[in-house]
Amino acid sequence: MTGSENANFHRSGTVDVVLRESRKNWVSNMFHKYPSVCVCVSLTIALICAVVALPNMKMSDDGNRAYLVWDDIRVERQDSFNDALDKIDVENQKKNPVDIQTESIPEWTVWVLYEAKDSVSNLLTPTSINDMQNLQGQIAAHKRYSKVCLQSYDDAAGKRICNVNKKTTVGFYPDHTTQTDINTRTDGIMTDNDLYLELKPYFEKGWTNTQRSVKWTRAMIQHGAPLDIDGKVYKYYKEDEEAQDEYFTDYVLDIADTVDDFDSSNFDTYFYNKKWFDKKSDELVMQDFAFVGLSLAFVIFYMMVHTRSVVLPLIGMFQVMLAFPVAFCIYRYIMQITYFNMMSLLSIFVILGIAADDIFVFVDAWNQAQEHEILMSDLERRISWVY
């Protein structure tokens, strides 16, 4: 085969491939013949989804109910059962109101972890426990502590009181003036198996009768409801639960700062509370979500450079943003998945990345079509080949 015959054969094969890849279909035909209708229909669908979706983009609770499917008979039965239990519980609480701050709320429990510095081999010393007592004293001195602490009856005081040290190292070692006092208390704990098993979770794993020094210990500070907020006395926790949670959250954010700012030469402090964690997690996600604008601007700028067009990137990104409410409607109303949290919003970064790549591929394919005369003479065939 001569060189010219080989070139003709290659050219003929390329044309066959192009013809095969550019077969006209209903998609290209529709966009070619009815471009305005296609744009109007797609925009209408997207806007309807946006109107429906945006008011319903509510953050889900962390409970298992958020993951369940609507209209499932098992879910409906379980929901009915739970609703009945809640109604019974509420009615019982209405008939028998709970004294303020006597019901322990697990989500309000504050954990403070004390970890010994490298230069300290044991936290069960007078100076270390004194430092713990000072920190817990600062917590108890907060103006809201007395209004949210868990109250229990004290026989000596003859009334209900708050005790910030009840389930902490300071409370386990009330007499810690000297090392002898601490050692004597440890002897008593180790010889009382029930007491040892009760206190063991508050100390490091290796804390035993033969290994009495500890590098870390933790304190559990409990809080209770219902609350008395500015003269509004709630009868039970579920009576305006949101308002009581908000009051506690404002308090616990301050406590977290107090623990974080505390300085000790003996240990470092770490803080955890579920309400605080949820609040901080939401704030971090919202801070990250704020970068959507920066990300969008960068993508549009890069697309302008690549496509040498201003209109195309703007329209492309507008369509990308409209994809979010459409996807949400499919997710919520067709797939019937009810779970939606702050992390779900971050999917916008994934959508931006994938969509920008698609636009680059589409534009490049459109430009490459110029190399094939058969495509340049037929717009619909060119659209089919690019698509």
Confidence at residue 132, expressed as pLDDT on a 0 to 100 scale = 95
Q: In this structure, are residues 386 and 369 in contact, taking their beta carbons and an 8 Å threshold? A: yes
Confidence at residue 11, expressed as pLDDT on a 0 to 100 scale = 43
Q: Is the pLDDT of residue 99 over 70?
A: yes
Task: Tell me what the pLDDT averaged over the chain comes to.
Answer: 83
The predicted model scores a pTM of: 0.68
Under DSSP, the state recorded for 17 is H
Task: Give mean pLDDT, residues 233-259.
Answer: 91
Q: Which residue has the higher pLDDT, 229 or 373?
A: 229
Q: To the nearest whole percent, how much of the chain has pLDDT over 90? A: 33
Q: In this structure, are residues 379 and 323 in contact, taking their beta carbons and an 8 Å threshold? A: no
CA–CA dist 252, 248 (Å, integer): 6
Q: Is the pLDDT of residue 9 over 50?
A: no
Q: Is the pLDDT of residue 184 over 80?
A: yes
Task: Give mean pLDDT, residues 69-90.
Answer: 75
Of the candidate ranges 200-209, 286-295, 310-319, the one whose mean pLDDT is the lowest: 286-295
pLDDT per position as a tens digit, 295-341 = 788 888 888 888 888 888 888 888 888 888 888 888 888 887 777 77
What are the tokens at 56?
């319903």
Q: To the nearest whole percent, how much of the chain has pLDDT over 70? A: 86
Q: How confident is the model at residue 50 (pLDDT cuts 50, 70, 90)?
A: confident
Q: Is the pLDDT of residue 96 over 60?
A: yes
Q: How confident is the model at residue 101 (pLDDT cuts 50, 70, 90)?
A: confident
What are the tokens at 362?
């589409």
Q: Is the pLDDT of residue 112 over 90?
A: yes
Confidence at residue 181, expressed as pLDDT on a 0 to 100 scale = 93
CA-angle at 154, arms to 113 and 152, nearest 5°: 55
Q: How confident is the model at residue 155 (pLDDT cuts 50, 70, 90)?
A: low
Q: Highest mean pLDDT range out of 16-25, 68-77, 106-115, 358-367?
A: 106-115
Q: How confident is the model at residue 172 (pLDDT cuts 50, 70, 90)?
A: very high
Instruction: Supply the DSSP string of 263-282, one letter for each residue.
Output: --SSEEEEEE-HHHHHHHHH
Confidence at residue 353, expressed as pLDDT on a 0 to 100 scale = 79
CA–CA dist 115, 136 (Å, integer): 15
Beta bridge partners of 151: 162
Instruction: Supply the DSSP string of 163-208, one letter for each residue.
Output: -TTTBSHHHH-S--SSHHHHHHHHHHHHH-HHHHHHHGGGB-TT-S
* Residue ranges in the chain assigned as alpha helix (H): 3-21, 26-33, 35-53, 73-95, 126-140, 145-148, 169-172, 179-191, 193-199, 241-261, 274-289, 291-307, 311-329, 342-345, 347-368, 373-376, 379-386
Among candidate residues 119, 212, 123, the one with its CA nearest the CA of residue 168: 123
CA–CA dist 273, 363 (Å, integer): 51
Strand order of the β-sheet with 267-272 is: 216-221, 110-116, 267-272
Q: In this structure, are residues 266 and 123 in contact, taking their beta carbons and an 8 Å threshold? A: yes
Confidence at residue 5, expressed as pLDDT on a 0 to 100 scale = 42
